Amino acid sequence: MVANLSRSLRRSAALIAVIATAACSTGGTGGMPTTPAPAPAPAPAPAPAPTPTPTPTPTPTPTPTPTPTPAPTPTPTPSAYDTAEYRATVGAVSANALAAYQRGGIGTGIKVGVIDSGIDLQSGEFGTRIDPASASTAGNSTIDDESGHGTAVAFTIAGRRNDVGTHGIAFDATLLVFRTDTPGTCAVTMGNDSGCSHDDRNIAAALDLARTNSARVVNISLGGSAPSNTLVQAINRATAAGIVIVIAAGNDGTADPDPFAGIALNTAVSRGLVIIAGSVGATDAISDFSDRAGTGANFFLAAVGERVRAPDQNNVPFLWSGTSFSAPQITGAIALLAQAFPTLTGAQLVDILYSSARDAGAAGVDPIYGRGILDLTRAFAPIGQTSMAGTQVPVSQTNNATLSPAMGDARQSALGTVILDRFNRAYTLNLGGTIANAARQQQVLRGALTSRQRHYSISTGTTAIAVTIAPGRDQAQVERLLLSPGDADRARTLAATITSRLGRRAEFAIGFSQSASAIGAQLAGRSDPAFLVASAPDQEQGFASDIVSAIAVRRDFGRFGLTLATENGAVLAPGTNRLVGLQSRWQRSSYDRFSVALDRRFAGLSTMLTASHLREHATVLGARFGEGLGASQAASWFVDAAARFDAGGGWTIGAAYRRGWTMAHTRTAFAGSGVIGSEAFAADVNKYGIFAGQDSFGIRLSQPLRVTRGSGLDLRLPSYFDYGTGTVSAFETQRLNLAPTGRELDLEMRYAVPFATGLVQTNLFMRRNPGNVATIANDYGLALRYSLGF
pLDDT digits (tens, 9 = 90+) for 343-362: 999 999 999 999 999 999 99
State the alpha helices, DSSP H only, in 506-647: 516-523
With a cut of 60, say whether residue 444 has pLDDT above it. Answer: no
pLDDT grade for 788, boundaries at 50, 70 and 90: confident
* Relative orientation angle of helices 200-212 and 229-240, to the nearest 10 degrees: 10
Q: Which residue has the higher pLDDT, 557 or 3?
A: 557
pLDDT exceeds 90 at position 651: yes
* Cα separation, 400 vs 431, whole angstroms: 7
- Mean pLDDT over 554-558 rounds to 90
Helix H or strand E segment including 201: helix 200-212
For 208-273, where are the E strands, in sequence order? 217-220, 244-248
**Range from 33-42, 107-116, 510-519, 763-772 carrying the lowest mean pLDDT:** 33-42
The pLDDT value given to residue 16: 41
Q: Are 412 and 737 in contact (CB under 8 A)?
A: yes
Q: How many CB atoms lie within 10 A of CB 547?
A: 23
Residues 355-413 have pLDDT tens digits of 999 999 999 999 999 999 999 999 999 999 999 998 888 999 998 999 999 999 998 88
> 539 falls in which pLDDT band (50, 70, 90)?
confident
Lowest-pLDDT range of 52-56, 142-146, 174-178: 52-56
Q: 547: which residues sit within 8 A by CB, 6+ positions away?
A: 513, 514, 515, 567, 568, 569
With vertex at residue 533, the alpha carbon angle to CA 605 and CA 589, rounded to the nearest 5 degrees, is 105
Amino acid at 613: H
* H and E: helices and strands count for the chain: 14, 36
Cα separation of 190 and 6, whole Å? 12
pLDDT confidence of 25, banded at 50, 70, 90? Answer: very low
pLDDT confidence band for 60 (50 / 70 / 90): very low
Residue 691: count other Cβ atoms within 10 Å of its Cβ.
8
pLDDT band of residue 136 (cuts 50, 70, 90) is very high
CB-based contacts of 216, cutoff 8 Å, min separation 6: 61, 62, 64, 110, 111, 112, 243, 244, 334, 335, 338, 346, 349
- Statement: residue 418 has pLDDT above 60: yes
Per-residue pLDDT for 227 more than 80? yes
Residues with Cβ < 8 Å from 247, sequence gap 6 or more?
A: 55, 56, 57, 58, 220, 260, 261, 263, 264, 274, 275, 276, 277, 327
Q: What kind and span of H or E run contains 459?
A: strand 454-460
pLDDT of residue 423: 96
Question: At CB < 8 A and 24+ separation, what contacts does 121-125 make?
Answer: 121/145, 122/315, 123/32, 123/151, 123/311, 123/315, 124/32, 124/33, 124/34, 124/160, 125/31, 125/32, 125/155, 125/159, 125/160, 125/311, 125/315
Q: Which residues on neighbouring strands pair with residue 105, listed in sequence order?
A: none
Work out the pLDDT band at 26, boundaries 50, 70, 90: very low
Closest-CA residue to 543 (of 494, 628, 616): 616
The pLDDT confidence band at residue 789, using thresholds 50, 70 and 90, is low
Residues 6+ apart with CB under 8 A from 644: 528, 605, 606, 652, 653, 654, 655
Instruction: With cut-offs at 50, 70 and 90, classify the pLDDT of residue 442.
Output: low
Strands 401-402 and 624-625: antiparallel
Average confidence (pLDDT) over 157-179 = 97
pLDDT of residue 22: 24
pTM for the whole structure? 0.77
Reported residue count of the chain is: 790
The mean per-residue pLDDT over the stretch 72-95 comes to 80
Could you give the percent of the chain with pLDDT greater than 70? 80
Up-side HSE of residue 122: CA atoms within 13 Å toward CB? 11
Can you tell me whether residue 220 is helix, strand or coil? strand
Angle at which helix 149-158 crosses helix 327-340, to 10 degrees, equals 30
Residue 765 parent element (H or E): strand 758-768
Phi/psi at 198 (5° precision): -130, 110
For residue 59, what pLDDT band results from cuts at 50, 70 and 90?
A: very low
Looking at residue 129, what is its pLDDT? 97
Is residue 74 pLDDT above 70, yes or no?
no
- Mean per-residue pLDDT for 736-746? 95
For the residues 436-449, what does the mean pLDDT come to?
60
Q: Is the predicted pLDDT of residue 169 greater than 80, yes or no?
A: yes
Q: CA Rg, the chain, in Å?
A: 38
Q: How confident is the model at residue 132 (pLDDT cuts 50, 70, 90)?
A: very high
Confidence (pLDDT) at 32: 27
Q: Tell me the C-alpha distance between 586 and 599, whole Å.
A: 36
Other Cβ atoms within 10 Å of 298 Cβ, number? 15
Q: Which of 51-55, 325-329, 532-536 has the lowest mean pLDDT?
A: 51-55
Show Cβ contacts of residue 301 under 8 Å, excluding neighbours closer than 6 positions: 275, 276, 277, 278, 330, 353, 354, 357, 370, 371, 372, 373, 374
User: CA separation (Å) from 352 to 93, 95, 382, 390?
Assistant: 19, 14, 10, 22
Q: What is the pLDDT of residues 258-289, one digit of tens each?
A: 999 999 999 999 999 999 999 999 999 999 99
Positive or negative: CA dihedral 393, 342, 276, 260: negative
- Report the percent of the chain where pLDDT is more than 90: 62
Give the pLDDT mean for 204-210. 98
pLDDT at 528: 79
342: pLDDT strictly greater than 80: yes
Q: Report whether 16 contacts 318 (CB < 8 A).
A: yes
Q: Which residues is 707 bridged to in the sheet?
A: 678
Helix, strand, or coil (residue 433): helix
Nearest C-alpha neighbor of 319 from the set 166, 443, 457, 209:
166
DSSP category for residue 104: T
Closest alpha carbon to 494 in 510, 483, 506, 504: 483
Q: In this predicted structure, what is the pLDDT of residue 232?
A: 98
Least confident segment among 31-35, 622-626, 676-680, 690-694: 31-35
CB 573 within 8 A of CB 619: yes
**Mean pLDDT, rounded, for 27-49:** 31
Residue 70 has pLDDT above 70, yes or no: no
Confidence at 486, pLDDT banded by 50, 70, 90: very low
When mean pLDDT is compared over 313-327, 513-527, 722-736, the highest value belongs to 313-327
Least confident residue range of 244-258, 294-308, 533-547: 533-547
pLDDT of res. 475: 40
Domains and CATH numbers, the chain: 2-66+73-379 (3.40.50.200), 446-788 (2.40.160)
pLDDT value of residue 519: 86
How many whole angstroms separate alpha carbon 4 and alpha carbon 250? 12
Per-residue confidence at 451, pLDDT binned at 50, 70, 90? low
Q: Tell me the pLDDT of the chain averaged across its residues.
A: 83
Of these ranges, 52-61, 181-190, 372-381, the one predicted with the greatest mean pLDDT is: 372-381
The residue among 474 and 513 whose pLDDT is bigger is 513
pLDDT tier, 23 (very low <50, low <70, confident <90, very high otherwise) = very low
Phi and psi, residue 66, nearest 5°:
-65, 135
What is the pLDDT at residue 130?
98
- Asked if 684 and 703 count as a contact pair (C-beta separation under 8 A), the reply is no
Average pLDDT on 131-136 reads: 98
